[in-house]
Homo-oligomer: A and B are copies of this chain.
Amino acid sequence: MNKIPVLEIFGPTIQGEGMVIGRKTMFVRTAGCDYKCAWCDSAFTWDGSAKHEIKQMTAEDIWEQLYALGSDRFDHVTISGGNPALLASLASFISLCKEKNIQVALETQGSKWQDWFDEIDDLTISPKPPSSRMETNFSILDEIVAKLQANHTNFSLKVVVFDDKDLEYAQKVYARYSNAPFFLQVGNDDTTNGNNDELVTKLLTKYEWLIDQVMESNEWTNVRVLPQLHAYVWGNKRGV
């Protein structure tokens, strides 16, 4: 089956986090995940609640919708999920983007390899910390990182941190793959708060906490500590 299960297509907007934070981009959100993170901010991609919204699309279908929204105002597409790495069928869409001179970013937790990883311009591997209640399979992750490094794929590691235990986990990942660009990201544990001012104040307090931990420690040096900018600007709103 060559169709791609898609839940959202939106943009142009900015990428709010990670290695190309701030980048003007379009978003394509695929359905389905092999994880069930406790704090998943896109649980609707896998918990059945948006089942009826999933569209089975070809690469061309997706492109048409992107173009209808973004016309000539974009040159970058971000694929997120769920876990888009479950979908071998994304190969066709990624090729189509390349043909059209569109750069592609993608984020996955690193539980599964796809050969098209090497075609991604900005690949984020984001293993999940203990607060997610998921368990990282480090032998798979080792393999993925080794392949990406061997192939000189432009990738980074990113760990979302909610608490001390998560930061300890992040430290292990950082030490294990010490040659890979590494990003720490503040977790948003208040994904239903509709009061943006309150949310921003909370998130900034958490961000400062995370910065403090990292600045004090000699276990962290080559690291970038970032928030989710979209939460500052748009709060918990979906599709912006």
Contacts of A73 in B (CB 8 A): 215-218, 220-221
Q: Does A142 interact with chain B (Cβ within 8 Å)?
A: no
Nearest B residue to A222 via CB reads: B75
Residue of B12, B207, B223, B226 touching A215 (CB-CB under 8 A): B12
Nearest B residue to A214 via CB reads: B24
Number of copies of this chain that the complex holds = 2
- How many residues of A are counted as interface, with CB atoms below 8 angstroms from the partner's CB atoms? 40
Q: Are A72 and B21 in contact, CB atoms less than 8 angstroms apart?
A: no
Q: Does A91 interact with chain B (Cβ within 8 Å)?
A: no
Would you give the shortest CB distance from A142 to chain B, in whole angstroms? Answer: 24
The docked-state distance in angstroms from the alpha carbon of A13 to that of B200 is: 21
Interface residue ranges, A against B (CB under 8 Å): 11-14, 20-24, 71-76, 103, 183, 197, 200-201, 204, 207-208, 211, 214-218, 220-227, 229, 232-233
